[in-house]
Amino acid sequence: MHRTVGRTAVRTQARRVVTWATITLLCASALLLAGCARSASTARGSGPRVLTVGTWQGHKGAYPSIQAAVDAASPGDWILIAPGDYRERGDYLPGHQAQGEPGAGVWISKPNIHLRGLSRTGVIVDGTRSGPACSSAAGDQDLGPGNVGRNGIEVFEASGVTIENLTACNWLSGADGTGNQIWWNGGYDTGQIHMHSYSGAYLTATSSFYKDAKGPQGTYGIFVSSADGPGRIDHTYASNMNDSGYYIGACRDCNAVLNDAHAQNNVLGYSGTNSGGHLVISNGEWDQNGEGLDTNSASDDDLPAPQDGACPGTGRGIAGSHSCLVITGNYIHDNNNRDVPGNGLGLVGVGLTVAGGRNDTIVNNTFARNGAWAVVLAPYITDAPEQSGRPDTAQCTGAGGTWANPLVDQLNGGPSCFFDDYGNTVASNTFTDNGGFGQPTNGDLAELNDFTTIGVPAPPTPNCWHDNRGGLAGVTSAPANLQVTGGCGAAKLGAGPGDPLFGQILCNLRQLPPNDQAGFCNGASYPQQTAVRMAPLPRQISMPKPCVEVPADVWCAR
C-alpha cells in the first residue's frame, strides 16, 4: 500500500500543543460535530440500557463476554466492561463476519453501540488463546477459524459506534483484511462509504508477537476506512504494527480528527491512502517508527483516488486557504527504526511524507532527529485494479495520475500509475538535528516533483514552503534554498529524476544497491533490518471518569 517513488512499501515537553483557535472554523467544525455524535445517537425515547461484562467491585455483570453483550444490545445501549483479560471469539460464531470475509473477536454490526472499559490498562481485548495477557509465546497465539487471521474489535458498516478506555492486543494477520486491533470498517475495498459517525478515546492497540516476515503479525493498530464522519479518535497509543499504528483512508471527505495520538515501533506511525477533505491530525507524538506519517494517493486500493486535502465545494480552510487537511501541533522525532515488524522495506528516517498527495497543510509541528529527511514531498507509484484481466486505467487517469510512462513502468516492474505531489503547504514548523544519516540530500526539507524531462506533465500547482525554522545553520533542503525558490507564489518545481534526491530516495527504499551502476546512490547506505524488536507498552492514562454520560446502574450509580 505504501510505495513512494518505487514499488517498495513505504508526550514530551518538546511537543507544541496547538489550540483549535489556530485552525479555521471550517476545519474545527469536524471536531465539534464529532463531539456531538454520541449525544445524538443515544437520544431515544425509552432511554438506553447498560449491559455489564465481568465483575466490578463485587457486582457480577450480566454477560461473561463482550461479544455476548454486543449480541444482546440494541442501538443506543451502553456496554460497560470490568477489568479482565477477555479472549473474545466472536469470529468462531456464525453470523459474526461479512460474507466471505474473516471475522473479529468482537463483531459490532449494530449502530449506536457504546463500548467502554472501566480501566484502559485493565480491560484487555486479547487475541491469544492461552497464557498471560497479550502473551508473546508462539503456542498461545490464535489465528481464528481456518487459521486465516483475526481482527480484534471490528465495527462493520455501523455508524455511531464509540469504543473507549481499553487495550486490544495480538490480533494477527493471515488472509487479506486481518491483523487489525480496532477497526471501524465502513466498506473495506469497496470504494464506497458505508459508515458515518464514529468515536474512540483512551485506546491502546499493540502486539507482542513476531516470528518472521512471512508469519502472522499485527497489521494496523487503530484503523478507520471508508467512513465520512464526523469522527474523532482521541488520547490513544499504537505500536508494533507491520503497516501502520494509525490509518484513516478511503474517504474523499473524511470529516475526522485524530488528536493526541502516540505511535511507536511501527513501519509507519500513521498512513492515509486517498484520505482528504476535512481531516485534522493534531497534538500527537510520532517516534521510533520507520517513518512517522505518510499520506498518499493510490489507484489500486482504498479508492477513490487521489489523496486530496482540498476543502470540498467552495469551503475555505486554514488561514483562508483551500486546504482542509491539516497536520499541526505534532512532535515528530527519531523515526529511524528499521527493526520494526515486517520485511524491513520502505522509507526509513523520515518524519513525514506526502506521497503523490495534493493540497495538504503541514503547519506548526516540531521535527527532530529524523535521520534521512524531516519532510518529503514526492510522487507515488501504484498499479491499477484489474477488470476482466486488464488494468482499469480510469482509476488512475480519472484521478489526475499519469499512466504507462516508460521510466515509471520500469521502476515499478510493469504498467503503473504515477501520482505527482502538488499544492501542499509546509509552513511555520521547527526543525532540529534532522538528516543525521549524513547521506547526500539528507536534511530538513525535500521536494521531488519535476518529471517533465521524462514526459510526465508538470503539476498544475507548485508546493509552498515558508517560515520554517531551523537551528544555527537554518533550515536545510533538497533542492537547496527551497524556502526561497519554492515559496508561496513561486512557479519553480522541485527536484527531478536527474537530481541526487531521486537516487537517494530509491536507495533508502532499497530499490538500488549502494554502488549501483548508474551512480544514483553514490555509495549511500541506509539502515537495514537486523532483528525485529517489539516495544514494551509504556504507562497509559485511563479515562478520568468512566461513568460520565453512562446511564445510572449498579456499576455507575449516581
Whether residue 269 is contained in a domain is answered as yes
Mean pLDDT confidence for 544-554: 94
Q: Which three cell numbers stand for residue 40?
A: 445524538
Number of domains the chain contains: 1
Cell of 338: 528499521
In this prediction, residue 320 carries a pLDDT of: 63
Confirm whether 518 is domain-assigned. no
**Whether residue 488 has pLDDT greater than 90:** no
The answer to whether position 148 is within a domain reads yes
Q: Is the pLDDT of residue 13 over 50?
A: no
- pLDDT on residue 317: 72
Q: Which of 37-46, 94-103, 484-493 has the lowest mean pLDDT?
A: 37-46
Average pLDDT over residues 314-326: 77
Structural domain boundaries, residue 266: 20-508
Q: Which residue has the cell 507498552?
A: 537
In a domain, 528, yes or no: no
* Residue range 10-17: mean pLDDT, rounded: 38
Name the one residue in this structure whose C-alpha cell is 553514490: 522
Whether the pLDDT of residue 508 is over 50: the answer is: yes
User: What mean pLDDT comes out for the span 287-294?
Assistant: 98
Mean pLDDT of the chain: 89
Q: CA-to-CA distance for 249 and 304, rounded, in angstroms?
A: 10
Q: For residue 115, tell me if it sits in a domain.
A: yes
pLDDT of res. 22 = 42
Is the distance from CB of 257 to CB of 282 less than 8 angstroms?
A: yes
Give the pLDDT confidence of 258-275 residue by residue, as tens digits: 999 999 999 999 999 999
Please check whether residue 527 lies inside any domain of the structure: no
The answer for residues whose C-beta is within 8 angstroms of residue 226's C-beta and 6 or more apart is 185, 186, 187, 188, 190, 191, 192, 193, 194, 195, 250, 251
First-to-last CA distance in the chain? 49
Weakest mean pLDDT among 4-13, 118-127, 429-438, 463-472: 4-13
Query: Between these two residues, 237 and 412, which has the higher pLDDT value?
Result: 237
The amino acid at residue 314 is T
Q: What is the pLDDT of residues 329-369, one digit of tens each?
A: 999 999 999 999 999 989 999 999 999 999 999 999 999 99
The reply to whether 5 falls in a domain is no
Predicted confidence at residue 486, as pLDDT, reads 66
**The predicted structure's pLDDT at residue 316:** 67
Quickly tell me which residue has 551502476 as its cell: 517
H or E element, residue 205: strand 198-206
Give domain status of residue 286, yes or no.
yes
For the record, the C-alpha cell of 251 comes out as 474517504
Diameter over CA atoms, the chain: 74
Provide the pLDDT confidence category of residue 385 given band limits of 50, 70 and 90.
confident
**Length of the chain measured in residues:** 558
**pLDDT confidence tier of residue 550, bands split at 50, 70 and 90:** very high
433-466 pLDDT per residue, tens: 999 999 999 999 999 999 999 999 999 999 999 9
DSSP 301-333: SSSSP--B-BPSTT---GGG-SB-EEEES-EEE
* Whole-number pLDDT of residue 463: 94
pLDDT in tens, 64-99: 999 999 999 999 999 999 999 999 999 999 989 888
Taken in order 252, 287, 85, 117, the sign of the CA dihedral is negative
- At residue 446, what are phi and psi to the nearest 5 degrees? -150, 135
Q: What is the rounded CA–CA span in Å between residue 70 and residue 533?
A: 35
The confidence band for 412, taking pLDDT boundaries of 50, 70 and 90, is confident
**Which CATH number characterizes residue 280's domain?**
2.160.20.10
- The whole-number average pLDDT for the span 410-427 is 92
* For residue 499, pLDDT beyond 50: yes
Residues 182-189, mean pLDDT to the nearest whole number: 95
What letter represents residue 325's amino acid? L
Q: Per-residue pLDDT averaged across 129-146, rounded?
A: 97
